[in-house]
Chain A
Amino acid sequence: DAKTTQPTSMDCAEGRAANLPCNHSTISGNEYVYWYRQIHSQGPQYIIHGLKNNETNEMASLIITEDRKSSTLILPHATLRDTAVYYCIVGGQAGTALIFGKGTTLSVSS
């Protein structure tokens, strides 16, 4: 079973920041938090991952709470092309098999 809890769906206006929450209260000390997204009929796309510190790349920012029991993926300026299912996953050392949950369906509208 997936070790994370995410809202089923969220809406966001184009140009605004999209903040996607994830709870992972049973995360262990050596497990990473990964975020992927999947646009219909395509393979999941890697977005970002982190262990303890906040991370930022060209796609998004990842904010992990100090107790590591929850995190937030931030898309700073959502576009229509960001409409997708977003998966938050916790897993062991990078490279081990990841177990996906049902994710959050993000709908970005103009």
Chain B
Amino acid sequence: DQQVKQNSPSLSVQEGRISILNCDYTNSMFDYFLWYKKYPAEGPTFLISISSIKDKNEDGRFTVFLNKSAKHLSLHIVPSQPGDSAVYFCAASVTGTASKLTFGTGTRLQVTL
């Protein structure tokens, strides 16, 4: 049941460059999307979210783009920093009270010097 997919298990980017992490979903009922960052042996840390009524949301170095027709979202990190090296999870939900999150498999980002 892969309703949320992150097809790139890993990504390596040079410090200062743009990191682009991609996520696809199949369930058209999803209308709220989130990106979480996770370090080993820690819990997911919320980064940024977007509602389906928007196509872009920006917070500092992080921007999330949503293409509803393609059922695709992406996270852009500009500029990338070594501290951004972590696993990034895309998650989706159907808006409502106590809505569960459906996670992708994650993309490991390595930012090199």
A binds B: no
